[in-house]
Amino acid sequence: MIGIVDHRMGNLLSVYNAFEYMGADVELCGDPRDLEDADKIVLPGVGAFPDCMKNLKELGFQEVLNRLVLEEKRPVLGICLGMQVMAEWGEEFGEHQGLGWIPGRVVKIKPEDPGLKVPHVGWNNIQYSADSPLLKGLPESPDFYFVHSFHMECTDPAHVDAWCDYGGRVTAAVRRDNIFATQFHPEKSQDFGLKIIENFLSWH
């Protein structure tokens, strides 16, 4: 079973539908105890970093997720804000501690070209690591759909699985052991996004 974390801040329905379309046995988990039966976990998110962390703590998800992901090594896929809270720290509306699964900070995008607007909204092509399990089978420089004002700056460059150019290099995906995450939205990125979901479902 694929457990989608329902922390009241996700585009849950579109994520649910994309996984169901790919044939997954998927369940929205509004109670942390529901995740115990999940073989793999999806952590989506739309909104602000501090609100997301507040909800994860208050709803009891943080402790359960830390155990399942860090100790039991269950595969997890973060999407957009779900990726950002995997960092150690976020700078949205102040300084806020994240889950700390990926060493680094989430900072505001500052394009070198003043003509580029923030938030970064729309389709953009990415470059990715040749050995990426999440992005395997995709063509060179595939396009994905982004909606974000912040992005993760990884302490260890090896954790950056993909990046895009938006007036400078912007982290588009990260990977560390059983932890995967994308800044863009696979569930809104048509065939290439579905390929990423397929790759996550087949990863072991």
Q: Which of 52, 148, 164, 187 is the catalytic position?
A: 187
Q: Which of 80, 92, 120, 151 is the catalytic position?
A: 80
Residue 52 a catalytic site member: no
Question: Alpha-carbon distance 179 to 101, whole Å?
Answer: 8
Residue 204 a catalytic site member: no
The sign one gets for the Cα dihedral 51, 55, 56, 58 is positive
Distances in Å between the Cα of 98 and the Cα atoms of 21, 84, 152, 167 are 31, 8, 12, 26
Residue 185 a catalytic site member: yes
Q: Which of 7, 96, 120, 185 is the catalytic position?
A: 185
Question: Could you tell me which of 154, 147, 46, 47 has the C-alpha nearest to residue 93?
Answer: 47
In which order are the strands placed within the sheet that holds 179-182? 26-29, 2-5, 40-43, 76-79, 179-182, 169-176, 160-165, 120-128, 143-148
Q: Which residues are catalytic?
A: 80, 185, 187
